[in-house]
Amino acid sequence: MPALEMTKPATLPADWRDLLALTKPRVMSLVVFSGLAGLLAAPQLPPLALGFTAILCIALGAGGCGALNQWYEAELDAKMRRTAKRPLPDGRMDPQTALHFGVGLSVFSVLLMGLAANWLAAALLAASILFYVFVYTVWLKPRTAQNIVIGGAAGAFPPLIGWVVATGRIEALPLLLFAIIFLWTPPHFWALSLFVRSDYAAAGIPMLPVVAGIENTRRQIFLYSLPMAAAAVAPWLLGLTGPIYGASAAVFSFVFVVLAGRVFANRATDPKSMGAEKHLFAYSVFYLFALFTALVADRWIAW
């Protein structure tokens, strides 16, 4: 046998672009932004190098979560049109590479966070990664329609981590930021799951529209938007932020509730007629960016 044949790997080495795709860069951008907002909203700032490293660690941790999620759900992803072209279901990568990449990124991010920032922030980062992988991906997602409700906690950690990086303490404002994302997650994901519900049904994932029906999901979206709006304006009402954030939160949240009301009023069952759901989903992403931008602007302009 020629020497080259003996050293040839069983599968092609993964393309670096596919490794990057495993980290779900678009999801990561929202995570990084909310973490950065939590850091910049804090009353004191860490040195630039440490702040930058902490945000990098949040990004790497989120990337590790994305890779581990895709490793665990490769078979499910193959059944859904939206995810079938991902590197693992498409057969472009060896599953073990994805597992090693995900574990490596996660462990590295926690250790670097502990060394560069503080170990409380590292512990929170570790908790969010473990919660996302084991509680959400492995335990809740394939079992219950409440997967997003409880699993949403994993995505709510970044602003809290950002704040703890800066201050070393857990305080009321970052806990409220945690609550905002926690309550924002169900309407955000349920709006998406309404117009891709056939995908979830095909994969056997018990998302709310699949298990409880479209009408019930629309009602839940509207009901969740109310405490979410209350949580969004709470930092201002409690005197933890200034009027720039307060006015922005009130306006942005009002629009969110109106769009959720339009979803509630919609009776369409064909995804092509779900304009209200698509609007709410797109707006929900803008909402979180806008709210946290207002938080940082309020901290730096008004205070």
Partner 1 sequence: MTQEDEIIRRRQRERSRIMALLLGAFAILLFFITVAKIGINW
Residues that bind partner 1 (CB under 8 A): 4, 8-9, 12-16, 46-50, 52-53, 56, 115-116
Give the count of alpha carbons within 13 A of 117, CB side only.
33
Give the nearest distance from C-beta 115 to partner 1 in angstroms.
Answer: 7
- Residue closer to partner 1 by CB (options 50, 240) is 50
- Residue closer to partner 1 by CB (options 11, 273) is 11
DSSP for residue 14: P
Give the integer Cα–Cα distance in Å for 63 and 204: 25
Neighbouring C-beta atoms of residue 296, cutoff 10 Å: 18
Give the integer Cα–Cα distance in Å for 5 and 284: 52
Give the nearest distance from C-beta 20 to partner 1 in angstroms.
Answer: 10
Give the nearest distance from C-beta 136 to partner 1 in angstroms.
Answer: 29
Give the integer Cα–Cα distance in Å for 266 and 259: 11
- Residue closer to partner 1 by CB (options 116, 244) is 116
Give the nearest distance from C-beta 80 to partner 1 in angstroms.
Answer: 27
Give the count of alpha carbons within 13 A of 262, CB side only.
16
Give the nearest distance from C-beta 153 to partner 1 in angstroms.
Answer: 30
Give the integer Cα–Cα distance in Å for 134 and 122: 18
- Residue closer to partner 1 by CB (options 13, 239) is 13
Give the nearest distance from C-beta 116 to partner 1 in angstroms.
Answer: 5
H-helix segments, the chain: 3-7, 16-22, 25-40, 48-72, 74-79, 95-116, 119-130, 147-167, 172-195, 197-203, 208-212, 214-237, 243-265, 275-297
- Residue closer to partner 1 by CB (options 15, 75) is 15
Give the nearest distance from C-beta 246 to partner 1 in angstroms.
Answer: 34
- Residue closer to partner 1 by CB (options 19, 297) is 19
Q: Work out whether the CA dihedral 194, 200, 204, 206 comes out positive or negative.
A: negative
- Residue closer to partner 1 by CB (options 52, 289) is 52
Give the nearest distance from C-beta 160 to partner 1 in angstroms.
Answer: 22
Selection from 220, 239, 227 nearest residue 179 by Cα? 227
Contact (Cβ atoms closer than 8 angstroms) between residue 84 and residue 90: yes
- Residue closer to partner 1 by CB (options 168, 261) is 168
Contact (Cβ atoms closer than 8 angstroms) between residue 179 and residue 156: yes
**Interacting residues of 279 by C-beta distance below 8 A, sequence separation 6+:** 259, 262
